[in-house]
A = this chain, B = another copy of it.
Amino acid sequence: MNQKTRANLIIGQSGGATAVINASFVGAFEEALKNEYIGGIYGMLHGIEGLLKEDIIDLRQQPADLWSRLINTPSAALGSCRYKLQEGDPERALDILRSYNIHYVIYIGGNDSADTAHQLALAARHAGYELQAISVPKTIDNDLPFTDHCPGYGSAARFIALATMDSTMNTVSIPWHYPVKVIETMGRNAGWLAASSTLGKRDENDPPHILILPERSFNADQYLEQVEAIYRRLGYAIVVVSEAVKDEQGKPLGAVGQVGNDAFQHPLLSGAAQYLVELVKQHLQLRARFDKPGDLQRMASNCISTTDQREAYQVGAMGVRALLAGESDKMVTLIRHTEPEYHCSTGLVELAHIANEQRIMPDNYLDERKTMVTQAFYDYALPLIGEPLPRHAVLDKTRIQR
């Protein structure tokens, strides 16, 4: 865009919401507000799906006190979508953007949303319409490539770490009641979120004891052997499983609970933990049960990582600066620095390299069996979850000698 012409900007949110996706939205809005070359600042309701229906709102008309409150509000305030562009959609979207004099698009989302932004940019180039589209990363799954990590992950990881610490204290207080407990996390094809359950672990005996991650095909015999060994040593065992783990035949553990496919053909599962509980009950004759925090893990307003929230704001603001610097068809990335202490700067990567690619956990973050993390993972993940986790008090249990 010619920087001397005023043009309108539209912002959208897409994919599974997070506890900080609104921080990126506010970051983009407040950065746009500072710049005289941005005229209208619009929002598309429910992402591209709403844009195609002309469900557009004027963000300059919102009450002034909204924005500071929105930063701490989980979920996608604009509404979200999981819509895969159909033939003719990009051209129809361009017609609508043109009719509103919109030349800037900020699209906040994960892999599939990056693909949508890419398709819009391609269609505009093909049609000769001056449009710049920047994708702003967001996903609790932390599976976007080319970025050190993804906004949304730090808060969800904090939730899972704390939930594992807190909820398993019930097992510890009365281990023989339900000696085996399985916690199911989200995470699609990457184990980042399930692995974050270890972040409050200070000792080998602290929960969780076994991670079941999509980075390795599930083997029932090895699993039962590990559960039994830990049970014999401690009197209980805590397992954390990622919802989309598959067995050696490629069949999802939770296939029993399979409830359909979303528009992107990812299987939607609900039964991995239940399956692992049944295995233990049937083969080890131990009482077992599962927790499944579900949507709460990505939406908990009292578990937001301050680091994650700050970075989510930062990538939103940097998306708008990239547009004003003439960039398009790119995603904002986070670049980690460790000197003098942990902080992130931002970069840009071509959307053509991103779309639909997933980053799983590297081998050096996991032990040989891929059922526990290594120190390298702690070094990677601890700075992302904000304030240090609490240290719960433990009694000295030395028995009185009569």
Contact = CB atoms under 8 A, between A and B. Distances in A.
Contact of A399 (B55, B165, B259): B55
What secondary structure prevails in chain A residues at the interface with B?
loop
**Could you say which of A55, A183, A292 has the most chain B C-beta atoms within 10 Å of its C-beta?**
A292
B17 A400 contact: no
B82 A177 contact: yes
Contacts of A259: 281, 287-289
Contact of A75 (B13, B58, B72, B170): B170
A56 interface: yes
Interface in A45-93: 45-46, 54-58, 61-63, 66, 69-70, 72-82
A357 interface: no
Interface residues of A, number: 80
Contacts of A169: 17, 73-75, 299
A92 to B, nearest CB: 15
Nearest to A298: B170
A46 B397 CA distance: 11
Nearest to A21: B173
A68 B166 CA distance: 18
A78 to B, nearest CB: 7
Contacts of A123: none
Contacts of A82: 174, 177
A73 B294 contact: no
Interface string A290-301: 111111101111
Contacts of A299: 166-167, 169-170
Contacts of A62: 395-396
A174 B16 CA distance: 9
Interface string A8-30: 00000100110000100000000
A163 B293 CA distance: 9
B289 A400 contact: no
Interface in A150-168: 162-163, 165-168
Interface in A250-296: 259-260, 262, 270, 281, 287-296
A9 to B, nearest CB: 13
A80 B302 contact: no
Contacts of A294: 167, 183, 289-293
Contact of A173 (B61, B76, B260): B76
Interface of A: 13, 16-17, 22, 42-43, 45-46, 54-58, 61-63, 66, 69-70, 72-82, 99-100, 162-163, 165-174, 177, 181, 183, 259-260, 262, 270, 281, 287-296, 298-303, 390-400, 402
Given A17-B173, A69-B393, A270-B290, 20 more contacts: A17-B169, A17-B174, A42-B400, A56-B399, A57-B395, A61-B396, A61-B398, A63-B396, A69-B391, A70-B393, A72-B393, A75-B392, A79-B174, A100-B400, A162-B301, A168-B295, A177-B262, A183-B294, A270-B289, A293-B293
